[in-house]
Amino acid sequence: MKQVWIVQANEDKYVVDAFDNEAAAKDCADFYRGWIHKCYSVDIESRFIKPSDWEDYDD
């Protein structure tokens, strides 16, 4: 399994990027003053499934 770090922005509450490198994810999270969610993906083509407690925002 591939480990992936999902970065969520603090103020806007949307996912801004995903990294396979924790240090890069931390830099991104610091920039957006956001959070990092660690998840696992079977392969690079797998899509991220949002947890049920996340709120949806339309563009």
Domain boundaries, the chain: 2-41
Model pTM above 0.75: no
φ, ψ (nearest 5 deg) of residue 15: -75, 125
What pLDDT sits at residue 50?
A: 62
Give per-residue pLDDT as tens, 11-46.
666 777 888 888 888 888 888 788 887 765 545 455
Neighbouring residues of 19: CB distance < 8 A, sequence distance ≥ 6: 4, 5, 7, 25, 28
What pLDDT sits at residue 59?
A: 41
Indicate the residue type of 46.
S
What pLDDT sits at residue 53?
A: 62
